Structures are given as C-alpha cells and as structure tokens.
Amino acid sequence: MELFIAINKSFEQLNEALSQISEQQYISPSANLSGATIGQHMRHIIELYQCLMSGYDAEIVCYDHRKRDIEIETSKKLAGQMLTEILSSINRKNKELKLESWLGDTDPSIVNLPTNYYRELMYNLEHSVHHMALIRVGLKELSTEPVSENFGIASSTIRYKQQCAQ
C-alpha cells in the first residue's frame, strides 16, 4: 500500500538525518527553532506514531497523552531504534477508531471524533513532514544538508514543482 511506502520513505530520511549529525548536535538548542532541538522534533514525530500504535487495540487514540520522553529527544540512538520499532509494527489492517482530544489549554472539554487507522497514519505522515521541515531548518543551521532534496517537503509540493518544470 502506498501509505506504508511513504511512511517507510520518511523514516528512511529521518534515519539518514540522524546519521549526519553528532549526539551533541542532536541535543543542541537551535536559534532558528526558538531554542528547540532536532531531538525534540524527532521525539514528537516518534511519539505521535507511538500513540497511534498503542491506541490501536483500545480503539481510542489520544495524542494529548503522549509521554514526552526526554530520553528519545536526548539519544539519537534510541530515536533510531524507536523508528525501527514503529516501522516493524505499523502494517496493520484498517479499522474504526475514536480520536480523543482536549479543545483548548484551559477548557476541560474533551472531544471524541470518529476516525480510522489509515486516516490517522496519514495524519501522522503529514505531521511528520511538517516537523521534518523544521528539522531541515535545524540541519541548515548546523551547515548540514539533508541527504534527500525532498526532506521535509510535502508530496503535493513536490508534484506541483514537477508540473511547473514541465
């Protein structure tokens, strides 16, 4: 299925980015990212997928309940291992899920919306591309170019640019 291929490709790009930087660069605050680190953006990507994987059996996904595991954002080795673990367990059949979320930071209301596994995989992929674009900014600050010229660029943008070039 194309969705799984696209996720695999994005994870390969993330692993390539990890291999290009040192542990110190992974945890260094970036001026261009408002003090955030490449590791923090990597952790965010990983934890969204982890939330989806752990919510699959319970049929309830709540991204607000992610762990925010400092170890993932401070160890590029662990981040790479987590990416591998996610890829090894991601190929599941589609099924109906409930998405649970808080509406605001002070509003105690919780919203529950119907969704499904493939829809949430697509959300995670698109959200990952957004964070990969931010990681790309961090890599440029380190004078490191991503291995892939399309790292952090949405597939719709890539297709649009290809159409314009023709």
Domain that holds residue 90: 2-165
At 72, list the tokens: 């993932």
Rounded CA gap, 29 and 116, in Å? 36
Residues 80-135 have pLDDT tens digits of: 999 999 999 999 999 999 999 987 777 778 899 999 999 999 999 999 999 999 99
Q: Which CATH number fits the domain that encloses residue 52? A: 1.20.120
Contact criterion met (CB below 8 Å) for 148 and 27 = no
Domain count for the chain: 1
Rounded CA gap, 128 and 51, in Å? 14
Rounded CA gap, 95 and 97, in Å? 6
Residues 43-61 have pLDDT tens digits of: 999 999 999 999 999 999 9
pTM of the complete model = 0.89
Of 46, 50, 42, nearest in space to 18 by CA: 42
Contact criterion met (CB below 8 Å) for 52 and 124 = yes
